C-alpha cells in the first residue's frame, strides 16, 4: 500500500476478500487513508495471518462486485466538493478583482438562462428566483454576493445529487438479484448449479414463483411473467417459445426453459437504477408537497419583494426578501431527509423501495402477519415421517424431497433439508412438476401420479383416500405438528410431520410493535384452527384467522382498508403475494419466496422480527424530522426577511445566512435517525 492512496479497484478487491471471510463480521476499506477497519471473531493472531495471506492477484472477485461498488462515485462527488471550495477561496486570494468579476459574470449566465427558460415555459419556480437574485446582484455590481450565492447553490446541487445517487445506488444494490443457484438443463437432465457456472448459451429451467436470473430467449414451456420491475407493465406478460425474458422479472405462472443470452449483471443493475429514478411511487407525499409548496412560494417571494420596494423605496430592503426564499430549502432538505432514511434502513438490512412506503408505515395502525416463516422460524424441521404404504421412510422422504426442492417455501425447504441430513440423494425421476398455489405439488414418478400438499388439496381437491386398515394411524397423528400429506395414485402414502418453531423474539416483537403505535395486530394463516390458536396465544396477537386461502388474505386486507385502517401485511410465501400487493405496505422476509420479495414494498432481514420495530421507529422519526425541517425553514427564513426589511442586516448577509442554514438543515437530514442501541 505504498504511495498516495490505494487504487479504487484494489480497495474493492480487499473489501471483497475481507467480507467473505467467516471470521470477519464487518470490514470497511478507506482508499484515501490506506487503511481498513475490521471487526472479527476469534484470535488476533489468526486475523493477522489471514491478512498476511492476502494478495491482490490471488483474489477472484465476482463481476457484480465491480458493478455494485459505489466507491468511484463517492470519490467523484467528494472531489467536486473539494475543488469547488478550493476554487471559490482561491479566486478571492489570487485572482485580480477585474478577472474575478468577469468570471462571476460568465458563471451567472447558467442561472440566468435557467430562469429565463422557466419563464418562457410559463413557470414561476425556484430557477426564476435564483436567476433573479444573481442578476440583481450583478446589476448592483455586487459581484461578491453574486459569487457567494452561486457557490452555495453549486454546493447544494452537488450535495443533493450525491445524496440522491448514493441513496438510489444503495437501494438498487439491495434490490439487485441475490440468486445463488439455478437449474441447468444439460442433455435433458436438470442439475442444480451455482449461477457463476452458467455461461452464455446455456439452458436453465425457471419454475413458478422464481425470479429469472438472466436475460434470455424462451426455448420451451409457457408462463406468465411479471415484468413490472423492469418495464412498468402492471399485468403479467404471457411467454412462450421464442419470447424474450429479462433478468429480475418473476415467473408468476407456468414453467420456462430459457437459453441464456447475457450473464453480466450490469444491464439489470442499470435497469433497476433507472426504474427507481423514474418511478413516481418512490416519492412520498411529503416530498411532493414540499416541491409543490416550494414552487408556489416563489410567486409570493416576488410579491413580497415588490411590496417591500413600493412601501420603502429601498432597493436593499427589497433585495433582502429576494435573497431569502423558502423554496430552495424545501426542495433540498425534505427529499434528502427521505432518501437518507432509505439509506439508513438499508444499513439495518431493511430494503425500502421508496419514501412513500416509509410515510405509510409511520401512518399504519394495523399489521397483519402470515404465520409460517414470519411469526414462526423461517426454518421448520421434519420431526417424523408416518408411512401408510409398504415403503421405507427413506424412500418416501426421497420422493417428497425430489418434488419439493423445486419450489421456494419454508415447508419445502424443511423436507429437502431432512433428506440431506439423512444422506438421501436422488436423480430427477419425475415428470414435469406442477405447483398449485397454497395447495401443493403434482407430478408423475415412474408412471405413478404423486401429489403432496395440504389436507384440503390431497383429500378434497384430489379425492385421495386413506388405505384400508390405516384409519387409526391417521387419526392418531401428533396434533402439535403441521402435516404435509403425500399420496401416490390417489392413495395416502405418507404424512410428513413438521415442527414450525416459534421465533424466540416473536412475542417481544409483537409487544414492541403495539407500543410503537399499532392498534391491531392480526395473524392470518392457512394452517388448522388448532395450530393457529396455539401460536396466536403464545405470541399475543389481538386476533387470528385460520385456514385462510391467498384470496381470503387479500380480501381481508381490502376489508380492513375499507374500514378506514392503514394496513401493513407481512409475509414470506407465494401465497402471501396477493395480500402483500393489496396492503398499503407489503413487507416480505428476505429469505422468503422471490415473488413475494418482488411484489413487496419493503423487505426485512429474515433473522429477526426486530426489523419491523426498527422500521416503524425509523418511519416515525423520519416524519418527525420532516416536520422539524418545515419549522426550521419557515422560522429561520422568516426571521431573515424581517431583519432585512427592518434594515438590521444587509442582503448579502441575508443570502449568506439563508444558504448556510439551508445546507445545515440538509446536512442534518443526512444524519442517522436511530442510535445503534435503538435499532
Break the chain into its structural domains and give their ranges.
8-61, 75-172+281-338+620-669, 181-264, 350-375+504-606, 381-499
Higher pLDDT, 198 or 437: 198
Q: What does the alpha-carbon distance between residue 105 and residue 101 come to, in Å, rounded to a whole number?
A: 6
CATH of domain 381-499: 3.40.1110.10
Give the H or E element holding residue 52. Answer: helix 44-52
Give the H or E element holding residue 660. Answer: helix 651-669
Q: What does the alpha-carbon distance between residue 160 and residue 335 come to, in Å, rounded to a whole number?
A: 9
Average pLDDT over residues 533-541: 87
Higher pLDDT, 143 or 666: 143
Q: What pLDDT does residue 3 have? A: 46
Closest among 442, 436, 428 to 488, alpha carbons compared? 442
CATH architecture, domain 181-264: Distorted Sandwich (2.70)
Say if CB 570 and CB 375 are below 8 A apart.
no
What is the per-residue pLDDT across 661-671, written as a single tens digit (0 to 9) for each? 877 887 788 78
Say if CB 662 and CB 330 are below 8 A apart.
no
* CB count in 10 Å sphere of residue 435: 22
Contacts of 398 (CB under 8 A, 6+ apart): 419, 424, 426
Q: Is the pLDDT of residue 487 over 90?
A: yes
**How would DSSP label each residue in 534-565?**
HHHHHHT-SEEE-S--HHHHHHHHHHHHHTT-
Q: Which class would CATH give 350-375+504-606?
A: alpha beta
Give the H or E element holding residue 204. Answer: strand 203-207
Q: What does the alpha-carbon distance between residue 100 and residue 121 come to, in Å, rounded to a whole number?
A: 33
Of the chain, the end-to-end C-alpha distance in Å amounts to 36
Q: What does the alpha-carbon distance between residue 175 and residue 159 come to, in Å, rounded to a whole number?
A: 24
Q: What does the alpha-carbon distance between residue 591 and residue 372 come to, in Å, rounded to a whole number?
A: 12
Secondary structure class of 177 (helix, strand, coil): coil
Q: Is the pLDDT of residue 259 over 90?
A: yes
Average pLDDT over residues 293-308: 77
pLDDT band at 81 (very low <50, low <70, confident <90, very high): confident
Say if CB 212 and CB 226 are below 8 A apart.
no
Q: What does the alpha-carbon distance between residue 560 and residue 553 come to, in Å, rounded to a whole number?
A: 11
Q: What does the alpha-carbon distance between residue 662 and residue 328 come to, in Å, rounded to a whole number?
A: 8
Query: Can you say how many angstroms the Cα of residue 404 is from the centroid of all Cα atoms in its chain?
Result: 28
Among residues of the chain, what percentage have pLDDT more than 90? 18
What is the per-residue pLDDT across 441-467, written as a single tens digit (0 to 9) for each? 888 888 889 999 888 889 988 899 999
Q: Which residue has the cell 498476511?
A: 52
Helix axes 143-175, 97-120, angle to 10 degrees: 60
Cell numbers for 146, please give them.
Answer: 453574486
Q: Is the pLDDT of residue 586 over 80?
A: yes
Say if CB 302 and CB 375 are below 8 A apart.
no
**Parallel, antiparallel or unpaired: strands 366-370 and 567-571:** parallel
Cell numbers for 608, please give them.
Answer: 429477526
Largest interatomic CA distance in the chain: 106
Query: Can you say how many angstroms the Cα of residue 582 is from the centroid of all Cα atoms in its chain?
Result: 18
Q: What does the alpha-carbon distance between residue 486 and residue 494 come to, in Å, rounded to a whole number?
A: 5
Q: Is the pLDDT of residue 265 over 60?
A: no
Backbone dihedral angles phi then psi of residue 430, each to the nearest 5 degrees: -110, 165
Q: What pLDDT does residue 491 have? A: 94
Q: Is the pLDDT of residue 146 over 50?
A: yes
Higher pLDDT, 429 or 595: 595
Report how many helices (DSSP H) and strands (DSSP E) the chain contains, helices first: 24, 22
Q: Where are the beta strands (DSSP E) in 440-542?
A: 440-445, 448-453, 482-488, 491-499, 520-524
Q: What is the pTM of this model?
A: 0.64
Cell numbers for 281, please give them.
Answer: 411511487
Q: What pLDDT does residue 291 have? A: 66
Average pLDDT over residues 250-265: 80
* CB count in 10 Å sphere of residue 19: 14
Beta bridge partners of residue 223, listed in sequence order: 239, 254
Beta-carbon-side half-sphere exposure of residue 461 (alpha carbons within 13 Å): 17
Q: What does the alpha-carbon distance between residue 403 and residue 496 come to, in Å, rounded to a whole number?
A: 14
Q: Is the pLDDT of residue 44 over 70?
A: yes
Q: What pLDDT does residue 534 have? A: 80
Buried residues in 607-619 as b, exposed as e (16+ CB within 10 A) = ebbbbbbbbbbbb
User: Looking at the annotation, which residues are catalytic?
Assistant: 370
Sheet hosting strand 482-488, strand order edge to edge: 381-387, 491-499, 482-488, 448-453, 440-445, 434-436
Secondary structure class of 189 (helix, strand, coil): strand
What is the per-residue pLDDT across 602-623, written as a single tens digit (0 to 9) for each? 888 877 788 899 999 999 999 9
Contacts of 122 (CB under 8 A, 6+ apart): none
Average pLDDT over residues 262-280: 52
CATH topology agreement for domains 181-264 and 381-499: no
* Of the candidate ranges 317-326, 351-360, 468-477, the one whose mean pLDDT is the lowest: 317-326
**Helix/strand/coil percentages in the chain, nearest 5:** 55, 20, 25
Q: Which residue has the cell 418512490?
A: 282
Q: What does the alpha-carbon distance between residue 412 and residue 616 come to, in Å, rounded to a whole number?
A: 31
Q: Is 444 exposed, middle or buried (0-12, 13-18, 19+ CB in 10 A)?
A: middle
pLDDT band at 267 (very low <50, low <70, confident <90, very high): very low
Say if CB 382 and CB 482 are below 8 A apart.
no
**Parallel, antiparallel or unpaired: strands 366-370 and 482-488:** unpaired
Cell numbers for 580, please give them.
Answer: 402483500
Among residues of the chain, what percentage have pLDDT more than 70? 83
Q: What pLDDT does residue 177 have? A: 47
Average pLDDT over residues 374-386: 82
Cell numbers for 335, please give them.
Answer: 427529499
Cell numbers for 273, please give them.
Answer: 437504477
Q: What does the alpha-carbon distance between residue 452 and residue 477 come to, in Å, rounded to a whole number?
A: 17
Cell numbers for 384, please give them.
Answer: 417424523
Average pLDDT over residues 180-199: 80
Amino acid at each position: 500500500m505504498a504511495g498516495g492512496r490505494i487504487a479504487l479497484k484494489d480497495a474493492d478487491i480487499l473489501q471483497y476478500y475481507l467480507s467473505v471471510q467467516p471470521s470477519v463480521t464487518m470490514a470497511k476499506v478507506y482508499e484515501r487513508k490506506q487503511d481498513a477497519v475490521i471487526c472479527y471473531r476469534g484470535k488476533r493472531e489468526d486475523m493477522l495471518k489471514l491478512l498476511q495471506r492476502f494478495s491482490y492477484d490471488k483474489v477472484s472477485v465476482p463481476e457484480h462486485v465491480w458493478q455494485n461498488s459505489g466507491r468511484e462515485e463517492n470519490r467523484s462527488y467528494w472531489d467536486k466538493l473539494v475543488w469547488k471550495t478550493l476554487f471559490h477561496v482561491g479566486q478571492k486570494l489570487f485572482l485580480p478583482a477585474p478577472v474575478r468579476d468577469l468570471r462571476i459574470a460568465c458563471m451567472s449566465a447558467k442561472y440566468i438562462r435557467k430562469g429565463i427558460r422557466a419563464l418562457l415555459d410559463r413557470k414561476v419556480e425556484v430557477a426564476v428566483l435564483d436567476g433573479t437574485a444573481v442578476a440583481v446582484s450583478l446589476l448592483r455590481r455586487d459581484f461578491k454576493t453574486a459569487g457567494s450565492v452561486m457557490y452555495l447553490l453549486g454546493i447544494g446541487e452537488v450535495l443533493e445529487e450525491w445524496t440522491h445517487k448514493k441513496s438510489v445506488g444503495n437501494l438498487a444494490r439491495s434490490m439487485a438479484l441475490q440468486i445463488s443457484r439455478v437449474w441447468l438443463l444439460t442433455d435433458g437432465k436438470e442439475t442444480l448449479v451455482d449461477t457463476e457456472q452458467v455461461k452464455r448459451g446455456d439452458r436453465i429451467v425457471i419454475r413458478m414463483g422464481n425470479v429469472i436470473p438472466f436475460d434470455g430467449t424462451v426455448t420451451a414451456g409457457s408462463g406468465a411473467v411479471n415484468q413490472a420491475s423492469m418495464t412498468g407493465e402492471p399485468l403479467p406478460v404471457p411467454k412462450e417459445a421464442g419470447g424474450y425474458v429479462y433478468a429480475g422479472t418473476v415467473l408468476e405462472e407456468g414453467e420456462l426453459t430459457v437459453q441464456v443470452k447475457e450473464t453480466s449483471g450490469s444491464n439489470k443493475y442499470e435497469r433497476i437504477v433507472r426504474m427507481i429514478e423514474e418511478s413516481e411511487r418512490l416519492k412520498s407525499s411529503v416530498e411532493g408537497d414540499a416541491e409543490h409548496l416550494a414552487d408556489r412560494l416563489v410567486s409570493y417571494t416576488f410579491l413580497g419583494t415588490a411590496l417591500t420596494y413600493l412601501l420603502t423605496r429601498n432597493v436593499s430592503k427589497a433585495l433582502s426578501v429576494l435573497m431569502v426564499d423558502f423554496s430552495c430549502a424545501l426542495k433540498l432538505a425534505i427529499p434528502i431527509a427521505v432518501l437518507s432514511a432509505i439509506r439508513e434502513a438499508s444499513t439495518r438490512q431493511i430494503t425500502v423501495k421508496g419514501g412513500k412506503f416509509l410515510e405509510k408505515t409511520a401512518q399504519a395502525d394495523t399489521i397483519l402477519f402470515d404465520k409460517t416463516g414470519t411469526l414462526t422460524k423461517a426454518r421448520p424441521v421434519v420431526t417424523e415421517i408416518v408411512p401408510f404404504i409398504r415403503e421405507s421412510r427413506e424412500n418416501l422422504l426421497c420422493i417428497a424431497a425430489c418434488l419439493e426442492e423445486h419450489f421456494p417455501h419454508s415447508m419445502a425447504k424443511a423436507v429437502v433439508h431432512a433428506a440431506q441430513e439423512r444422506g438421501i440423494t436422488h436423480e430427477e425421476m419425475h415428470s414435469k412438476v406442477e405447483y398449485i398455489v397454497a395447495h401443493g405439488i403434482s407430478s408423475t414418478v415412474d408412471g405413478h401420479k404423486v401429489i403432496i400438499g395440504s389436507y384440503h388439496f390431497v383429500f378434497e381437491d384430489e379425492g385421495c383416500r386413506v388405505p384400508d386398515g390405516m384409519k387409526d394411524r391417521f387419526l392418531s397423528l401428533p396434533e402439535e405438528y403441521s402435516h404435509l400429506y403425500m399420496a401416490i395414485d390417489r392413495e395416502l402414502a405418507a404424512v410428513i410431520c413438521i415442527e414450525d418453531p416459534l421465533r424466540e423474539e416473536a412475542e417481544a416483537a409483537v409487544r414492541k410493535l403495539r407500543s410503537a403505535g399499532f392498534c391491531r395486530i392480526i395473524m392470518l394463516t392457512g394452517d388448522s384452527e388448532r395450530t393457529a390458536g396455539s401460536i396466536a396465544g403464545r405470541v399475543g396477537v389481538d386476533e387470528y384467522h385460520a385456514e385462510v386461502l391467498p384470496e381470503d388474505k387479500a380480501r381481508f386486507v381490502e376489508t380492513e382498508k375499507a374500514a378506514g385502517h392503514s394496513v401493513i401485511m407481512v409475509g414470506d410465501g407465494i401465497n402471501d403475494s396477493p395480500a402483500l400487493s393489496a396492503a398499503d405496505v407489503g413487507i416480505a422476509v428476505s429469505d422468503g419466496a422471490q415473488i413475494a420479495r418482488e411484489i413487496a414494498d419493503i423487505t426485512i432481514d429474515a433473522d429477526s422480527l426486530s426489523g419491523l420495530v426498527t422500521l416503524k421507529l425509523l418511519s416515525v422519526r423520519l416524519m418527525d424530522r420532516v416536520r422539524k425541517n418545515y419549522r426550521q425553514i419557515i422560522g429561520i427564513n422568516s426571521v431573515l426577511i424581517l431583519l432585512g426589511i427592518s434594515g438590521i442586516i444587509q442582503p448579502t448577509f441575508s443570502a449568506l445566512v439563508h444558504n448556510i442554514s439551508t445546507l445545515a438543515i440538509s446536512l442534518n437530514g443526512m444524519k442517522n435517525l436511530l442510535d445503534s442501541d435503538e435499532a
